[in-house]
Amino acid sequence: MFCATCGAEIQDAAVICPKCGVPTPNFKQPEAPKADQAKPAVAQIGTGTIVLSYILALLMPILGVIAAIYLFVKGKTGHGLGVLGVSIAEVVVYIAVMS
Ligand SMILES: [Zn+2]
């Protein structure tokens, strides 16, 4: 195809004109994440797993930590870190109570 701005011949797959740098019709702005597509990792893991991990975090801090690490590694979601934070707080409380 030809650049609409400078008329230079450019590859059909090019996203910008190598001569003048103007974006071609192939150029697409990175789309902002849509609200309904913002949680693909959560959908893969399942909301139930996350809820379960929160319950575990509250009831059994050690299992909560394991679940949180599992979630974080598997899904790379913020939920894993959230559960991890709750779990660490719980562990600290348990240690404080035990001692
Ligand atoms: Zn051009």
Q: How far apart are CA 66 and CA 36, in angstroms?
A: 29
- Do 52 and 92 belong to one domain? yes
Q: How far is the CA of 17 from the centre of ligand 1 (A)?
A: 5
pLDDT range class, residue 9, cuts 50, 70, 90: very high
Residue 98: which residues within 8 A CB-CB, separation 6 or more?
A: none
- Do 7 and 50 belong to one domain? no
**What φ, ψ does residue 38 adopt, rounded to 5°?**
-80, -15
Q: What is the pLDDT of residue 39?
A: 54
- Do 59 and 26 belong to one domain? no
- Do 52 and 8 belong to one domain? no
Q: What is the pLDDT of residue 38?
A: 55
pLDDT digits (tens, 9 = 90+) for 66-98: 767 777 777 666 666 677 777 777 777 777 777
- Do 41 and 83 belong to one domain? yes
Q: How far is the CA of 31 from the centre of ligand 1 (A)?
A: 24
Q: How far is the CA of 30 from the centre of ligand 1 (A)?
A: 21
Instruction: Identify the domain containing residue 16 by its residue range.
Output: 1-30
pLDDT digits (tens, 9 = 90+) for 35-57: 655 555 555 667 777 777 777 77
The SS3 call for residue 36 is: helix
Q: What is the pLDDT of residue 17?
A: 93
Q: What is the pLDDT of residue 48?
A: 74
Domain count across the chain: 2
- Do 93 and 60 belong to one domain? yes
Side chain identity at 84, as an amino acid letter? L
Q: How far is the CA of 16 from the centre of ligand 1 (A)?
A: 8
Q: What is the pLDDT of residue 31?
A: 62
Q: How far is the CA of 32 from the centre of ligand 1 (A)?
A: 27
